């Protein structure tokens, strides 16, 4: 069962709890709401997602208006904190890149850690193209690859905006993962090496031999310490709880403490490039 479905079932259980506490059975509540009894059942068992209007009507029919904000909060969490990639990419990778750009443009400071890929804001067009091909093929979604590449390159203009700051950490294995042809990876590593010196960007590489106090299981983004975004294989998570944000800030600080920067980071990037089997 997915986290999304688990959360929907939990919301349904809360709706049922409110109904039971009111002393009504499902059929009586359906009559009050002028709904089919099957709708009440589906909402309570998590087989159907409620709308905001459904939740307001539910609370009103049970005379518990004080629960509306709680229920709507649960619904927002359901809709925005866990978004399956099939739904995220339904309109294509270009639309997804534009949504990312909107989030980035509202943030002055961005922290990004990647464990297996090159950060999107530092990707070359050729590397990005291969990433989008793999993503859309895996999830069987619209393959608007070139539009997606162009949108990702447009996002990168933020790196040249005065007053903005972007902090990148990359786990060393990401420098060696061939998610594209070796020649493309060589160009990508050259691009990384050229990032140093940009006034808005810092770049660190977490070496394989570093003794770690945290496990870098997946990449994540932190926006102005107000939002964390995590990309898993199946979905994108948006975390806004201050406790969760501080957890990711702690992980960032622990990784940054052992990351190589400057000449040492350059050396690790050069070593990865030397390992490529180029004809």
Q: Are 143 and 131 in contact (CB under 8 A)?
A: no
Q: Which residues on neighbouring strands pair with residue 112, listed in sequence order? A: 168, 221
CB neighbours of 179 closer than 8 A, spacing ≥ 6?
117, 127, 130, 131, 134
pLDDT in tens, the chain (279 residues): 455 667 788 899 999 999 999 999 999 999 999 999 999 999 999 999 898 899 999 999 999 999 999 898 888 777 655 566 666 677 788 888 888 888 888 899 999 999 999 999 999 999 999 999 999 998 888 889 999 999 999 999 999 999 999 999 999 999 999 999 999 999 999 999 999 889 999 999 999 999 999 998 899 999 998 889 998 887 778 787 788 889 999 999 999 999 999 999 999 999 999 999 775
Round to whole Å and give the CA distance between 144 and 148.
6
Least Cα distance to 83 among 209, 253, 234 occurs for 234
Position 102 scores a pLDDT of 86
Q: Which two tokens stand for residue 271?
A: 């070593």
Position 32 scores a pLDDT of 96
Position 2 scores a pLDDT of 53
Location of structure tokens 């979905």:
235
pLDDT tens-digit readout, 92-112 = 888 888 888 888 888 999 999
Position 1 scores a pLDDT of 46
Residue 135 host element (H or E)? helix 125-139
**113, burial (CB in 10 Å: exposed 0-12, middle 13-18, buried 19+):** buried
Round to whole Å and give the CA distance between 27 and 36.
9
pLDDT tens-digit readout, 113-131 = 999 999 999 999 999 999 9
Position 38 scores a pLDDT of 95
């Amino acid at each position: 069962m997915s986290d999304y479905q688990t959360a929907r079932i939990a919301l349904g259980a809360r709706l049922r709890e409110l109904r039971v506490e009111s002393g009504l059975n499902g059929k009586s509540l359906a009559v009050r709401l002028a709904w089919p009894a099957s709708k009440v059942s589906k909402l309570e068992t998590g087989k159907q997602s409620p709308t905001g209007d459904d939740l307001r009507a539910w609370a009103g029919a049970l005379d518990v208006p004080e629960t509306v904000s709680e229920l709507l909060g649960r619904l927002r969490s359901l809709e925005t904190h866990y978004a399956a990639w099939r739904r995220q990419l339904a309109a294509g990778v270009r639309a997804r890149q534009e949504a990312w750009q909107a989030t980035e443009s509202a943030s002055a400071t961005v922290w990004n850690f990647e464990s297996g890929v090159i950060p999107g804001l530092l990707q070359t067009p050729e590397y990005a193209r291969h990433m989008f091909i793999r993503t859309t093929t895996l999830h069987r979604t619209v393959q608007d690859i070139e539009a997606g590449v162009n949108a990702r390159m447009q996002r990168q203009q933020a790196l040249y905006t005065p007053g903005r700051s972007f902090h990148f950490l990359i786990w060393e294995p990401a420098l060696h993962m061939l998610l594209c042809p070796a020649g493309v990876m060589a160009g990508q590593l050259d691009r990384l090496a050229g990032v140093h010196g940009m006034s808005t960007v810092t770049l660190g590489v977490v070496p394989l031999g570093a003794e770690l106090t945290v496990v870098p299981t997946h990449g994540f983004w932190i926006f102005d310490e107000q939002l964390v975004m995590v990309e898993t294989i199946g979905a994108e998570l948006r975390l806004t709880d201050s406790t969760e944000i501080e957890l990711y800030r702690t992980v960032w600080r622990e990784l940054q403490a052992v990351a190589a920067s400057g000449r040492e980071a350059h050396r690790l990037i050069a070593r990865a490039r030397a390992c490529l089997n180029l004809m």
